[in-house]
Structure formats: structure tokens, C-alpha cells
Structure 1
Amino acid sequence: MWTAADRERYGREGLRYPSDLTDAEWALIAPLIRPGKRGGRRRSVNLREVLNGLLYVLETGCQWRHLPRDLPPRSTVHGYLQ
């Protein structure tokens, strides 16, 4: 059963989409992501936003072409998924 403390702890208020990562969730995931490859251009995409885009598609079940414009391009998100 949900208590008031649980609702506050797991609340999604203040996020752009309910599927977005909170700062605490991102702090758990960020160390698991490999750094960019040596040489070549630096990574120009925000990996947190890529993950938010992936979670948006998974939670809503929308098609890739319906990914909101304020998230990275669908080709970028799909490329990181593959």
C-alpha cells in the first residue's frame, strides 16, 4: 500500500515526461555507461536525453517517428538502442 512518504519518494512531478529519469536514477545509471571512444570527434549528444527518449518510446509504445521534438532525433535514439 502506498503511503504519503512513498508517494513523495517515487513522485514524478517536475519532470518533462513521466518516463524521464530523475537525478537519483541517473546517478545510478551514469557510471554504467561506457565513455566515448578515444580519437575522433567528441560525443555531441547528451546520453541522459537519449535514455529519456528510449524510455519514452518504451513507456508510451509510440512509433519512433512520434518521438517528441524536444528529445534527440529518433535516428540517434534508435542507433544507441541497437
Structure 2
Amino acid sequence: MARGDLTDAQWAVLEPLLPKGKKPGRPPTWTRRQLIDGIRFRVRTGIPRRDMPAEYGPWGRVYDLFRRWQRNGTWHRIFTALQARADAKDLITWDINVDSTVRRAHQHAAGARKKGSCRRSRPAAPERYGV
């Protein structure tokens, strides 16, 4: 287990929130825990997908799981469930910050008349050499 991987306690909380597999048959080569640790490693470090360490599984499989769950809303459901759990234990402080700063735009940015309000500058006269 690498330094940033899920601990056993974190995995015990996360595992029930994951979707169950629907297909019976051959067991997967790579466990979901390894693949999720691979997703977390890539997000944490920002490395290119193809540079994924081998301990997390093939980069294509890690990316496939990430995108599939992103498209079907699994990540959002996991986040919502974990957030609700943390909120129930009062681990989240819900502070609201309202900024009442008022900025004024220039009159031209607000749709003011652009023609006639100021004169265009005349082009500079060509410089004469030798005079």
C-alpha cells in the first residue's frame, strides 16, 4: 500500500457505496480498491494516464472505470453520500460568505452610445527626414 492509498478504515466506509457488479463469471484481475487507488493517484499527482504505476492496474482499465462512473453519476452519488455522512457527524462547517462589493463598468461597457461621444484621433503625420 502506497502512502496516499485508501486505508482499511476508509475502504470500509467507501465499499458499501460502490455499485455492485451485475455479471457473474470470472473474477476480475484488478480489484476495485486498486483501480480506485489508481484514480486517486492520478488525480493527486497529475501524471499522464499512460505513466500510471503498474500496482494500480493498466492505465486503460483505470481510465475506463473513472469515465464510466463519471458518465453514469456514480461519483456524484458517492460524494453526496459521504457528504451527508460527514454532515450528520457535524464534520462540515457550512459558512456562507456574501460579498457586497459593487463594481461600476465604464459607460461604453454598459451599452452607451459609441459614435459621437469622442473624436477619433487623426493619424500621425509622416515624419520628414532632413528638414
Question: TM-score of the superposition, structure 2-length normalised?
Answer: 0.47
* Corresponding residue of 2:49: 64
Q: Is the Cα–Cα contact under 8 Å of residues 4 and 41 in structure 2 kept in the other structure?
A: yes
TM superposition score normalised by structure 1: 0.72
Which has more helix, going by share of residues?
A: 1
Give 1 or 2 for the bigger CA radius of gyration.
2
**What 5-or-longer segments of structure 2 have no aligned partner?**
68-131
Residue 30 of structure 1 corresponds to 15
- CA RMSD in angstroms, aligned pairs only: 1.5
Q: Count residues in correspondence.
A: 67
The aligned counterpart of 1:46 is 31
Q: Could you say if the C-alpha distance between residues 38 and 68 of structure 1 is closer, same or farther in structure 2, counting changes exceeding 3 Å?
A: closer
User: What is the identity, as a one-letter code, of the residue corresponding to 2:30?
Assistant: V
Q: The residue matched to 1:20 in structure 2 has which SS?
A: coil
More contact order relative to length (CA 8 Å, sep ≥ 6) = 1
Work out the CA distance in 2 between the residues paired with 1:39 and 1:21: 27
Aligned residues with identical type, % of pairs: 31
Alpha-carbon distance in structure 1 between the residues aligned to 2:8 and 2:61: 22
